[in-house]
Structure 1
Amino acid sequence: MAQLVQEIMVDSAVTVQSNATLAEAARLMRDADIGDVIVVDAMKPVGIVTDRDIVVRAVAETAQPGNMTVGQICSTDLVTVRPEDEVKQAKTLMRKAAIRRLPVVDDGKLVGVLSLGEIAIDRDETSMLSEISSADPNS
């Protein structure tokens, strides 16, 4: 039987409104020990911003992260999956779009996130990628 996204996704996605500052988003990531937050409007995902986005699209461009909003730099061309989609399909989407995280959406509402790390841990807990994905942050 095919494995479903809902079986391995994280159902506690950290979210932020598009008018939040980059500094606010960065603090959310720090506090949750994660590298991304989903940008939402009434729990509907409208974008995603990563720690790398903040560095490359804002700080490296000499912007003031405390003054810029998440909506100004987030990726808005979201690729999403549904909880009942097969993990195999999610992996194909991730590979084609060259992304590491997929918002999981049910009836237009955000219900979780599926990351490359969850897939790796589920596939083989002893693999190097699983060990890195499940390790405590070193920062």
Structure 2
Amino acid sequence: MAELVRDLMTRNPVALPADTPVRNAATAMREQDIGDVLVVDDGRLRGIVTDRDIVVRGVAGFDDLSTCSLGDVCSDQLLTASPDDEVESVIVRMREGAVRRIPVVDGDTPVGVLSIGDAAIQRDSRSALADISVEKGNS
């Protein structure tokens, strides 16, 4: 039987409105030991912001970060998955799209995130990527 995204995804993702200051998202990432937050408008997925997006698009792109919101730095051309998708097909899409994390949605509502680290832990718990993925962050 094929493995489903719902079995590997991280549930209850941090989701913040697009007008949230970038600093608040960075704080949430540090406190939750995560590398991304989902961007929502009225509960509907609008984008995703990673720690790298904050640096590359926020810090490097804005002279005054106090004026920078998640809507300014989020990736809005999204690949998404359904909880009922087969993991193999989603991994192929992630590889083709060169993304490390993919929001999992039920309709337009975010319900989780699947990362390459989640897949690595399940597939080969002794791999280097799995080892790195289970370690506590260096916040």
TM bracket, shorter-chain basis = over 0.9
Deviation at 1:66, TM superposition (A): 2.1
**For 1:117, what is the secondary structure of its paired residue?**
helix
> What is the CA deviation profile of residues 52-101 of structure 1, one whole-angstrom value per residue up to 9, with x for unaligned ones?
11111121234322221110111100100000000001101100100011
Aligned to 2:105: 105
Contact kept? 2:21, 2:66, Cα under 8 Å: yes
Aligned to 2:7: 7
Cα distance in 2 between the residues matched to 1:97 and 1:53:
16
- The alignment of Structure 1 onto Structure 2 pairs a total of residues equal to 139
Contact kept? 1:58, 1:64, Cα under 8 Å: no
Cα distance in 2 between the residues matched to 1:5 and 1:73:
27
Pairing 1:23–2:23 present: yes
Q: TM-score, normalised by structure 1?
A: 0.96
Contact kept? 2:83, 2:104, Cα under 8 Å: yes
Contact kept? 2:62, 2:68, Cα under 8 Å: no
Pairing 1:33–2:33 present: yes
Cα distance in 2 between the residues matched to 1:101 and 1:63:
28
For the aligned residue pairs, the C-alpha RMSD in angstroms reads 1.0
**For 2:105, what is the secondary structure of its paired residue?**
strand
Once the two structures are superposed, the pairs formed by residues 66-77 of structure 1 within 5 Å of their partners are 66-77=66-77
User: What is the aligned-residue identity percentage?
Assistant: 47
| Structure 1 runs not aligned, ≥5 long | none
Cα distance in 1 between the residues matched to 2:73 and 2:128:
32
Cα distance in 1 between the residues matched to 2:106 and 2:85:
11
Which residue identity does 1:38 align to in structure 2? Answer: L
Deviation at 1:126, TM superposition (A): 1.1
Which residue identity does 1:127 align to in structure 2? Answer: S
Contact kept? 2:17, 2:41, Cα under 8 Å: yes
Cα distance in 1 between the residues matched to 2:120 and 2:54:
26
Q: TM-score, normalised by structure 2?
A: 0.96
